[in-house]
Amino acid sequence: MSALTLTQAKSYLRVGHSNDDVLIQLIVDGVEEWTERTFGLGLSETTQTDYLDGGMRALWPQRYPVISITSVYDAVTENTSDADDYNLRNSLQIIQDGEGRWEDGRGRWRVIYTGGYGTTQAVPAGLKLELLGLVARAYENRVGAQSESAAGWSTNFASLLDSDTMIRLRAYNPRPLV
Protein backbone atom coordinates (compact mmCIF):
# COMPACT_ATOMS: atom_id res chain seq x y z
CA MET A 1 0.00 0.00 0.00
CA SER A 2 1.22 3.44 -0.85
CA ALA A 3 1.26 6.32 1.63
CA LEU A 4 0.57 8.74 -1.20
CA THR A 5 -1.95 8.49 -3.99
CA LEU A 6 -1.30 9.64 -7.54
CA THR A 7 -4.08 12.20 -7.06
CA GLN A 8 -2.36 13.66 -3.98
CA ALA A 9 0.99 13.87 -5.78
CA LYS A 10 -0.53 15.51 -8.86
CA SER A 11 -2.40 18.01 -6.71
CA TYR A 12 0.76 18.89 -4.79
CA LEU A 13 2.69 19.26 -8.06
CA ARG A 14 -0.19 21.20 -9.64
CA VAL A 15 -0.29 18.84 -12.61
CA GLY A 16 -3.73 18.81 -14.23
CA HIS A 17 -3.02 16.47 -17.16
CA SER A 18 -2.41 12.74 -17.31
CA ASN A 19 0.65 12.83 -19.60
CA ASP A 20 3.06 12.31 -16.67
CA ASP A 21 0.97 9.90 -14.58
CA VAL A 22 3.33 6.96 -15.08
CA LEU A 23 6.36 9.11 -14.29
CA ILE A 24 4.77 10.68 -11.20
CA GLN A 25 3.74 7.26 -9.88
CA LEU A 26 7.30 5.99 -10.44
CA ILE A 27 8.68 8.97 -8.50
CA VAL A 28 6.18 8.42 -5.66
CA ASP A 29 7.14 4.73 -5.47
CA GLY A 30 10.86 5.61 -5.50
CA VAL A 31 10.51 8.24 -2.78
CA GLU A 32 8.52 5.85 -0.56
CA GLU A 33 10.95 2.97 -1.12
CA TRP A 34 13.94 5.20 -0.37
CA THR A 35 12.28 6.60 2.76
CA GLU A 36 11.43 3.12 4.05
CA ARG A 37 14.98 1.89 3.45
CA THR A 38 16.74 4.97 4.82
CA PHE A 39 14.57 5.64 7.86
CA GLY A 40 12.96 2.26 8.60
CA LEU A 41 9.53 3.81 8.27
CA GLY A 42 6.90 1.23 7.41
CA LEU A 43 4.51 2.95 5.06
CA SER A 44 2.45 -0.23 5.12
CA GLU A 45 1.83 -2.63 7.99
CA THR A 46 3.74 -5.92 8.00
CA THR A 47 4.95 -8.60 10.39
CA GLN A 48 8.71 -8.65 10.60
CA THR A 49 11.49 -10.64 12.28
CA ASP A 50 14.61 -8.77 13.39
CA TYR A 51 17.79 -10.11 14.99
CA LEU A 52 18.77 -7.34 17.38
CA ASP A 53 21.82 -6.64 19.55
CA GLY A 54 21.62 -6.50 23.34
CA GLY A 55 23.61 -4.52 25.86
CA MET A 56 21.27 -1.54 26.12
CA ARG A 57 18.02 -0.69 27.85
CA ALA A 58 16.09 -0.79 24.58
CA LEU A 59 16.06 -2.90 21.44
CA TRP A 60 15.83 -0.87 18.23
CA PRO A 61 13.62 -2.60 15.66
CA GLN A 62 14.20 -1.91 11.98
CA ARG A 63 10.61 -0.95 11.11
CA TYR A 64 8.62 1.86 12.69
CA PRO A 65 6.20 2.47 14.17
CA VAL A 66 6.05 -0.77 16.17
CA ILE A 67 2.42 -1.79 16.59
CA SER A 68 2.69 -5.03 18.54
CA ILE A 69 5.20 -7.67 19.63
CA THR A 70 4.51 -11.34 18.92
CA SER A 71 7.55 -12.89 20.63
CA VAL A 72 11.10 -12.31 21.81
CA TYR A 73 13.64 -15.17 21.56
CA ASP A 74 16.99 -15.20 23.36
CA ALA A 75 19.48 -17.18 21.22
CA VAL A 76 21.84 -17.73 24.18
CA THR A 77 19.36 -19.15 26.70
CA GLU A 78 17.05 -20.49 23.96
CA ASN A 79 14.05 -19.03 25.78
CA THR A 80 11.07 -17.54 24.00
CA SER A 81 8.89 -14.97 25.72
CA ASP A 82 5.52 -13.89 24.47
CA ALA A 83 4.43 -10.30 24.09
CA ASP A 84 3.00 -10.12 27.61
CA ASP A 85 6.55 -10.06 29.06
CA TYR A 86 7.51 -6.88 27.21
CA ASN A 87 5.93 -3.56 26.42
CA LEU A 88 6.24 -0.71 23.98
CA ARG A 89 7.29 2.76 25.03
CA ASN A 90 5.65 5.45 22.91
CA SER A 91 5.09 2.79 20.20
CA LEU A 92 8.67 3.39 19.15
CA GLN A 93 11.00 0.94 20.84
CA ILE A 94 10.79 -2.44 22.44
CA ILE A 95 11.82 -2.35 26.09
CA GLN A 96 12.04 -4.76 28.95
CA ASP A 97 9.64 -4.36 31.85
CA GLY A 98 11.33 -2.71 34.79
CA GLU A 99 14.72 -1.06 34.76
CA GLY A 100 16.78 -3.95 33.38
CA ARG A 101 19.08 -4.03 30.37
CA TRP A 102 18.94 -6.48 27.51
CA GLU A 103 21.74 -9.01 27.92
CA ASP A 104 24.66 -8.30 25.60
CA GLY A 105 25.10 -10.18 22.35
CA ARG A 106 25.28 -9.37 18.67
CA GLY A 107 22.04 -10.49 16.99
CA ARG A 108 21.13 -12.28 20.21
CA TRP A 109 17.48 -11.24 20.32
CA ARG A 110 15.04 -12.46 17.68
CA VAL A 111 12.01 -10.22 17.83
CA ILE A 112 8.87 -10.93 15.84
CA TYR A 113 6.61 -7.91 15.68
CA THR A 114 4.15 -5.99 13.55
CA GLY A 115 5.31 -2.59 12.38
CA GLY A 116 4.36 0.15 9.98
CA TYR A 117 1.29 2.19 9.30
CA GLY A 118 -1.89 0.18 8.81
CA THR A 119 -3.71 2.25 6.25
CA THR A 120 -3.12 5.30 4.11
CA GLN A 121 -5.18 7.29 6.62
CA ALA A 122 -2.89 6.19 9.45
CA VAL A 123 0.17 7.80 7.85
CA PRO A 124 0.60 11.13 9.68
CA ALA A 125 -0.15 14.23 7.60
CA GLY A 126 3.29 15.68 8.38
CA LEU A 127 4.99 12.57 7.02
CA LYS A 128 2.87 12.74 3.86
CA LEU A 129 3.90 16.38 3.36
CA GLU A 130 7.59 15.50 3.67
CA LEU A 131 7.15 12.70 1.12
CA LEU A 132 5.35 15.07 -1.22
CA GLY A 133 8.23 17.54 -0.86
CA LEU A 134 10.66 14.84 -2.00
CA VAL A 135 8.34 13.93 -4.89
CA ALA A 136 8.30 17.58 -5.96
CA ARG A 137 12.10 17.83 -5.84
CA ALA A 138 12.46 14.74 -8.00
CA TYR A 139 9.72 15.76 -10.45
CA GLU A 140 11.01 19.31 -10.91
CA ASN A 141 14.51 17.99 -11.61
CA ARG A 142 13.58 14.88 -13.57
CA VAL A 143 15.94 15.62 -16.47
CA GLY A 144 18.90 15.69 -14.09
CA ALA A 145 20.19 19.00 -15.41
CA GLN A 146 20.68 20.41 -11.92
CA SER A 147 21.71 19.11 -8.51
CA GLU A 148 20.47 20.12 -5.07
CA SER A 149 21.60 19.88 -1.50
CA ALA A 150 19.84 21.52 1.42
CA ALA A 151 20.63 24.83 -0.27
CA GLY A 152 20.02 23.90 -3.94
CA TRP A 153 18.40 21.33 -6.34
CA SER A 154 18.93 17.55 -6.90
CA THR A 155 17.27 14.22 -7.62
CA ASN A 156 19.87 12.46 -5.46
CA PHE A 157 17.92 11.88 -2.24
CA ALA A 158 21.04 10.76 -0.35
CA SER A 159 22.48 14.26 -0.82
CA LEU A 160 19.54 15.60 1.18
CA LEU A 161 20.37 13.76 4.43
CA ASP A 162 21.22 16.99 6.24
CA SER A 163 18.41 19.02 4.71
CA ASP A 164 15.35 20.31 6.52
CA THR A 165 13.21 17.55 5.01
CA MET A 166 15.54 14.81 6.23
CA ILE A 167 15.71 16.30 9.72
CA ARG A 168 11.91 16.26 9.90
CA LEU A 169 11.73 12.69 8.55
CA ARG A 170 14.10 11.50 11.29
CA ALA A 171 11.52 12.56 13.87
CA TYR A 172 9.31 9.63 12.80
CA ASN A 173 11.96 7.04 13.76
CA PRO A 174 14.03 7.37 16.95
CA ARG A 175 16.50 4.68 15.86
CA PRO A 176 19.97 6.09 15.20
CA LEU A 177 20.83 6.10 11.50
CA VAL A 178 23.76 3.87 10.62
* Beta strands 46-52 and 109-115, pairing class: antiparallel
Q: What is the DSSP letter of 64?
A: B
Q: What is the pLDDT tens value at each position of the chain, 178 positions in all? A: 588 999 999 999 999 999 999 999 999 999 999 888 888 888 888 899 999 988 887 888 888 888 888 888 999 988 887 666 666 654 456 666 556 778 889 999 999 988 888 765 588 899 999 999 989 988 887 765 445 555 554 445 555 555 677 778 888 876 655 5
Q: How far apart are CA 43 and CA 115, in angstroms?
A: 9
Torsion angle of the four alpha carbons 169, 171, 176, 178, in this order, in degrees rounded to the nearest 10: 0
Position 154 scores a pLDDT of 45
* pLDDT value for 145: 47
> In terms of Cα–Cα distance, which of 73, 69, 75 is closest to 92?
69
Please state the domain extents for the chain: 6-42+120-170, 46-115
Q: Rounded to whole angstroms, how far apart are CA atoms 85 and 40? A: 25
The whole-number pLDDT of residue 142 equals: 75
Instruction: Give the per-residue pLDDT at 93.
Output: 63
